[in-house]
Structure 1
Amino acid sequence: GLHVGLGLIIVPLVIDKLWSVMPKLVELPPVRSPAHALERLSLLALVGGLLFEIVTGVLNIQYDYVFGFDFYAAHYFGAWVFIAGFLVHLGLKVPLMWRTLRSESLMDVLRARNEAPSRPHQTMSRRGAIGLVAAGMGFVAVLTVGQTVGGVLRKAAILLPRGRSYGDGPNDFQINRTAEAAGVTEEQTGADWTLSVESTSENMEPVVLSRGRLLSMTQHTAELPIACVEGWSTTQSWTGVPLAELAALAGVPAPRSAEVISIEQGGPFGRAVLQGNQALHPDSLLALKVNGVDLSLDHGYPARVIVPALPGVHNTKWVARIVFRS
C-alpha cells in the first residue's frame, strides 16, 4: 500500500515540478552542443519515465489495461528508465553546481546585503504555491489511504476501487477478484467439492479430501496480511490446515515446490507455484475460515491458500488441487 499510496500522493508535486520547468523543456534551439543533447536525452528519460510510471500505475490500480502490454514487466523497466535518466541528469548537473558554489566565497555571500531581486508581477507567492501543492497532496492522501489503513478513512477512498464496504461481519475486507469475475459458481464449491492432494511420485495415489475431512484435521490460526500489487493490504485471522501437513499426507514431507491449482480456469489467478520453504512455513495454510467464520465465496470458499510474505495474486482461492514436488 505504501508504494501505490505515495505514487498517488506525489502527483500534485510532479505536476507542480513539470509546470515550473516547462520553459526549459521547450526552449529553442532544442540542442546547442553534444553535452546539451545528452542532457536533453536524460530529461526525456527522466520526465518520460516518471509520467509512464504514474499513468500506467493509475490505470493498473483501476484494472484498466488499455495499453495492451504486460503491466508488471513494463512498470519494472519503466522504473529503470527513470532511474537511468535521473542518474545521467544528476551526473551532468553536479559539476555545474560544484563550479557555481566554488565561484564565490561563503563568507562573501553571508556578508552580502539582502536585496530583493527585480521580478515580474506574480500571481502567486512561492509560499502560496508550496501551500497549494501540499494541500493537494494531503487531499489525495485522504482519498486513497483508506483502502490500506481502513477505519473511518475507508469510506473516503473514492479514488480506489477497493475502498468500499463488502458487507457486515468477519468477511468485510477487500476482494481483489470476485467469484463472478473468476467464473466460479456455488455449484462448483458446494457439498460435492473435494480437494485433491497429489505427489509427482508415481508410487503415491492422490489423496481426496472433503471440506468436512479438512475441518477434522489439525487446525492452525495465524494473523496474516494479504498484500496486493495494486496497492491495498489487509491483515486478517486465518484458520485452516497447515500446508506442511498436506505435504506429509501426500508423501512428500520436504517438498521442493508445490503447485496450487484453482477451480478458476486460466489467467494469472488460476494456479500458483510455491517454493518448498514457503509451503513448509508453519503459518502457511489451506485456509477454511477467516476471523472465526467460514470464508465467503468471494474470499475463496471452500478453501484458499494463505502464505506469509506472498503477493496476493499467489494466495490462490477456490483451491481444487495441490501437487507437491519432491
Structure 2
Amino acid sequence: MIPTAIENRISPARDTRVTARVGIALGATITLCFLTGLISHWIQHPPTWFVWPTHPVWLYRVTQGAHVISGTMTIPLLLVKLWSVYPRLFARPRLGDPLQLLERASIAILVGATIFQLTTGLLNTAKYYPWKFFFTTTHYAMAYVAIGALAVHLAVKLPIVRTALSTPLDDPTPAPAAGAAGAGDMVAAGAGESSGDDAGEPKGVDAAGERDTSAKVERGTGAKVERGAGSEVEGGISPEVGRGTSPEVEMGASAGIDTGTSAGTSRGTDAHIKTVANAAGERDGGAEGETGSGAGELKTVGAGGLKRVGAEGSKGQGTALGAPISAAGSSPESPALAAGPSPESPAPAAPAAGAGVSRRAVLVGAGLGAVVAGLAVAGQTVPYLRWLAVLAPRSGEGPQGLPVNRTAGEAGVGEMALAEGYRLMVSCGGGKRGFSRGELAGLPQYEVELPIACVEGWSASARWAGVRLRDLLGAVGEYRGGDVGFVSLETGGIYGRSVLPRRHAVDDSTLVALRLNGAELSLDHGYPCRLIAPNRPGVLQTKWLSSIEVLS
C-alpha cells in the first residue's frame, strides 16, 4: 500500500488507463522485435527444422529493419510506462499474497531484461561493444527471458487491464490500480434503514480522548448497523438497533461531547437522549421527538454549566447531535458542527498536483515519441526516409553506393587480396580447382539487383555482376546437392566462414560477385570476389573469398 500523503501527490495521469494503453503498444513492439529477432538468429544459426526462402529477395531486409525499428520505438514507450507506474513500484507488498509476489517478480525480471535488450541492441546498431560477452548468443537468450516475463505479467494483470481499457480516459473516477483494496478494506456506511429516515450514531469522548462504546440506538427495526469491513465494532463504537423500544443514546464526556453523526428517530416512537457529564456528576436533558412533530432539545451539564444543543426529530429527519460542549461553557455557533467527519461525509479532495497533465496528453506524447524514434532510424532501411534518419548509424551511403561495416584494413586481408598469386579454390563432386580473378572474369557473367541487409538494421540495394555459383561449381565437378561452405581470407573474425543452403546455392541470383554498381569491387567491399545471395544477412555474404566447398 502507498501512504496517503504520497498517494495524494501522484499525478492523475499516472493511471492504470494510461498504463494499460501504453502497455498494449509496448507489448506489440516487444513481440514484433522478439519474432523478427528469432528469424535473424535462426538464419545465422539454423535449427534443422528451419527453412528460410530465397524469395522474395527483400524479405530479410524487411524483417531486420522491423526488428531495429520496433526495438527503437519500444524505448520511449517503456519510459512512459515506467513513469506511469513508478510511484506504485515502491508500494509495500502484501507478503501473504502469492499473486502479488509473482507480479512483483515478473515486473522486476521484465523491466531488467527489457532494459538489457534495448541497451545492448541499440549499442549493437552502432557497433559498440563495451562488454566481454558474445552479443549474439546473449541477446538471443535474454529475449526468451523478456518475453516469458511479459507473458507472466500480462496473465497476472489481465483483469486490471480489461477494467482499465473499459473505463473512458476522461472519466474522473480513478481506475483500479494494482494492489487495490480487497474485501477486508471495504467500508460500510453505518446507517440503519427505516422508511424515509436517516440514522447515524453519536460518538462520545472521555477525558482521555477515547470514544465511548456505549451508544445504543433503537429504530423499530431488527437490523444491525455495521461500520467497517465485516466488524461489529470499529473505532470504539458498537451500535445496535432493537425492536419495539424507544431509542436511547448515552454518552460520557468530561470536557465536551464530540459527535459528528445524527441520531434519527423512527416512526411512532419517542427519542430519549441522555448525556452524562462526569465533571459535575449531573445528568439532565431530554430531547423528545415524534413522527411529524416539531423539535426537541438536548440539555447537558458540563464543567461550565448548562448548555443547549438544538435537536430536531421528525419523520424522515435525523436528530442532529454534533455540537461539542467546551469545559469553559461556551457553545459553538452552529449545532450542526462536529469534531470529526461523519461516515457519510466525502473524503478530503486530493491535492491538484500534476492535474495539468491529462491522460490523453500523456498517451499522445507516448505515441508521438515512439513514431519519431522509429522514423529517426527507419531511413537506414527505407530509402525514401533516409533524410529523416538522424539517429541511424548508417545512412545507406558509402563506397560504390553501399555502406561498409568492416574494412579490409580491419580484417587484415589487404595484402592477400591484392597478391598476384591469388587463387579461389573450389571443391565440388570430388574435383578441386583454383581460379585466378582473370579466370573468374572469363566465365559467363550475370548481373542481378539485390539488397544487402545487415543485422544492425541498415540495408541498401545494388547491382551485382559475376559468376553464378552453380556454374562455378559445375566447372569443377558435378554438383549433386548439399550445402556449400565459404571461407574468407580473414581468419580472425567470427564470420570468416559461412554456410549456404542448397536452395540458395542453385538460385539464379546467387553469384560470386566481381563487380558492384558497374565498377570493379573495391577492396572494402570484398575484392577480389565475394558471395552475394538473395534474402541473406550481410554477415553471411562472405567477402574476400578464399575457398568454396560443397559439404556432404
Q: Taking structure 1 as the reference length, what is the TM-score of the superposition?
A: 0.85
Paired residue type of 1:24: R
Whole-angstrom CA distance in 1 between matches of 2:417 and 2:453: 27
Evaluate the alpha carbon distance shift between residue 71 and residue 243 of structure 1 in structure 2; reply closer, same or farther with a 3 A threshold: same
Whole-angstrom CA distance in 1 between matches of 2:109 and 2:403: 36
The worse-fitting range, judged by mean Cα deviation, of 280-289 and 31-40 is 31-40
- 1:237 aligned to which of 454, 460, 463: 463
Alignment partner of 1:250 is 2:476: yes
Paired residue type of 2:391: L
**Alpha-carbon offset, residue 166 of structure 1:** 2.2
Paired residue type of 2:408: A
Which residue number corresponds to residue 124 of structure 1? 357
- 2:452 aligned to which of 226, 231, 237: 226
- 1:4 aligned to which of 68, 89, 100: 68
Q: Secondary structure at the match of 2:77?
A: helix
Paired residue type of 2:525: H
Q: Secondary structure at the match of 2:404?
A: coil
CA contact (8 A) 1:285 1:306 kept: yes
Q: Secondary structure at the match of 2:104?
A: helix
Which residue number corresponds to residue 393 of structure 2? 161
The worse-fitting range, judged by mean Cα deviation, of 291-300 and 158-167 is 158-167
CA contact (8 A) 2:488 2:543 kept: yes
Whole-angstrom CA distance in 2 between matches of 1:37 and 1:236: 54
Paired residue type of 1:208: G
Which residue number corresponds to residue 486 of structure 2? 260
Aligned residues: 309
Whole-angstrom CA distance in 1 between matches of 2:508 and 2:515: 17
Which residue number corresponds to residue 126 of structure 2? 62
- 1:28 aligned to which of 74, 78, 92: 92
CA contact (8 A) 2:530 2:543 kept: yes
Paired residue type of 1:237: R
Q: Secondary structure at the match of 2:543?
A: coil
Which residue number corresponds to residue 440 of structure 2? 214
Which residue number corresponds to residue 89 of structure 1? 153
Whole-angstrom CA distance in 1 between matches of 2:173 and 2:146: 37
Evaluate the alpha carbon distance shift between residue 97 and residue 186 of structure 1 in structure 2; reply closer, same or farther with a 3 A threshold: closer
The worse-fitting range, judged by mean Cα deviation, of 187-196 and 247-256 is 187-196
Which residue number corresponds to residue 382 of structure 2? 149
CA contact (8 A) 1:200 1:325 kept: no
Paired residue type of 1:160: A
Evaluate the alpha carbon distance shift between residue 115 and residue 291 of structure 1 in structure 2; reply closer, same or farther with a 3 A threshold: closer
Whole-angstrom CA distance in 2 between matches of 1:299 and 1:151: 24
More relative contact order, 1 or 2 (CA 8 Å, 6+ apart): 1
Q: Secondary structure at the match of 1:147?
A: coil
Whole-angstrom CA distance in 1 between matches of 2:477 and 2:88: 67
Evaluate the alpha carbon distance shift between residue 77 and residue 22 of structure 1 in structure 2; reply closer, same or farther with a 3 A threshold: same
Whole-angstrom CA distance in 2 between matches of 1:151 and 1:97: 38
Which residue number corresponds to residue 175 of structure 1? 404
Higher helix fraction (1 or 2): 1
Whole-angstrom CA distance in 2 between matches of 1:215 and 1:193: 14
Alignment partner of 1:189 is 2:418: yes
Q: Secondary structure at the match of 1:321?
A: strand
**Alpha-carbon offset, residue 96 of structure 1:** 5.3
Alignment partner of 1:284 is 2:284: no
Q: Secondary structure at the match of 2:451?
A: strand
Whole-angstrom CA distance in 2 between matches of 1:210 and 1:292: 21
Question: Structure 1: 5+ residue runs without aligned partners?
Answer: none
Identity of aligned residues (%): 39
Whole-angstrom CA distance in 2 between matches of 1:188 and 1:96: 63
Deviations 1:217-251, CA, capped at 9 Å, x for gaps: 11122221222111111121211111111221221
Paired residue type of 2:97: S
**Alpha-carbon offset, residue 150 of structure 1:** 3.4
Whole-angstrom CA distance in 2 between matches of 1:115 and 1:229: 47
Q: Secondary structure at the match of 1:144?
A: helix
**Alpha-carbon offset, residue 141 of structure 1:** 3.2
Evaluate the alpha carbon distance shift between residue 311 and residue 115 of structure 1 in structure 2; reply closer, same or farther with a 3 A threshold: closer
Whole-angstrom CA distance in 2 between matches of 1:283 and 1:31: 63
Paired residue type of 1:139: V
**Alpha-carbon offset, residue 20 of structure 1:** 0.8
Over aligned residues, Cα RMSD in angstroms?
A: 2.6
Which residue number corresponds to residue 48 of structure 1? 112
Paired residue type of 2:363: I
- Structure 1 stretches of 4+ with a deviation exceeding 4 A read 95-98, 114-119
Evaluate the alpha carbon distance shift between residue 273 and residue 128 of structure 1 in structure 2; reply closer, same or farther with a 3 A threshold: same
Whole-angstrom CA distance in 2 between matches of 1:56 and 1:187: 34
Instruction: Give the greater-gyration-radius structure (CA).
Output: 2
Whole-angstrom CA distance in 1 between matches of 2:124 and 2:94: 34
The worse-fitting range, judged by mean Cα deviation, of 14-23 and 265-274 is 265-274
Question: Structure 2: 5+ residue runs without aligned partners?
Answer: 1-64, 175-348
Whole-angstrom CA distance in 2 between matches of 1:30 and 1:189: 70
The worse-fitting range, judged by mean Cα deviation, of 140-149 and 315-324 is 140-149
Evaluate the alpha carbon distance shift between residue 186 and residue 159 of structure 1 in structure 2; reply closer, same or farther with a 3 A threshold: farther
Whole-angstrom CA distance in 1 between matches of 2:543 and 2:496: 9
Deviations 1:132-158, CA, capped at 9 Å, x for gaps: 33443343334322222235725x534
CA contact (8 A) 1:147 1:163 kept: yes
Deviations 1:13-43, CA, capped at 9 Å, x for gaps: 1111111111222222374522211111111
Q: Taking structure 2 as the reference length, what is the TM-score of the superposition?
A: 0.52
- 1:79 aligned to which of 143, 160, 163: 143
CA contact (8 A) 2:375 2:389 kept: yes
**Alpha-carbon offset, residue 258 of structure 1:** 1.5
Q: Secondary structure at the match of 2:78?
A: helix
Whole-angstrom CA distance in 1 between matches of 2:150 and 2:385: 38
Whole-angstrom CA distance in 2 between matches of 1:158 and 1:191: 43
Evaluate the alpha carbon distance shift between residue 307 and residue 159 of structure 1 in structure 2; reply closer, same or farther with a 3 A threshold: same
- 2:102 aligned to which of 38, 51, 57: 38
